Amino acid sequence: MIYKRLCDCADYRNERTAQIDYETYITTDNMIPNRGGISTVESLPDTKAVCKYLEGDILLSNIRPYFKKIWLANRKGGCSNDVLVVTAKEPFSPEFLYYVLSDTNFFNYDTATSKGTKMPRGTPKAIMKYLVPDYGIEKQSSIVSVLSAYDNLIEVNNKRIKALEQMAENLYKEWFVRFRFPGYESVLFENDLPYGWRIQRLEEVSDFVYGKMPEKQFVSDTGYPIFSGYQISGYYKEYSFAETMLVLIARGVGGTGEVRMAPAFSYITNLSIIFRLKNPELYKMYLYYLFSLKNLRYLDTGAAQSQITIDNLKRVRVVTPANNVLLAFNKQISKIMELIEKIKEQNALLNKQRDLLLPRLMSGKIML
Query: pLDDT of 209-249, one tens digit each?
Result: 999 888 877 777 678 888 876 667 778 888 888 888 888 88
Whether residue 305 is predicted with pLDDT greater than 70 in this model: the reply is no
Given this model, what pLDDT does residue 253 score? Answer: 57
When comparing pLDDT for 13 and 255, which is higher? 13
Which domains, from first to last, does the chain contain? 3-134 (3.90.220.20), 157-338 (3.90.220.20)
> Residue 232 — left, alpha, or beta (φ > 0 → left; ψ -120 to 50 → alpha)?
beta
Given this model, what pLDDT does residue 213 score? Answer: 86
- Tell me the mean pLDDT in the region 13-30: 95
Given this model, what pLDDT does residue 119 score? Answer: 84
Q: CA separation (Å) from 211 to 2, 149, 240, 283? A: 50, 39, 9, 20
Whether residue 146 is predicted with pLDDT greater than 60 in this model: the reply is yes
In 10 A of CB 98, how many CB atoms? 24
Report yes or no: 268 and 249 within 8 Å, Cβ to Cβ. no
What's the mean pLDDT when you consider all of the chain? 91
Given this model, what pLDDT does residue 163 score? Answer: 97
Whether residue 306 is predicted with pLDDT greater than 80 in this model: the reply is no
Q: Vertex 187, ends 284 and 201: CA angle to 5°?
A: 35
Given this model, what pLDDT does residue 34 score? Answer: 85
Given this model, what pLDDT does residue 302 score? Answer: 65
Most confident of 32-46, 86-100, 244-258, 293-307: 86-100
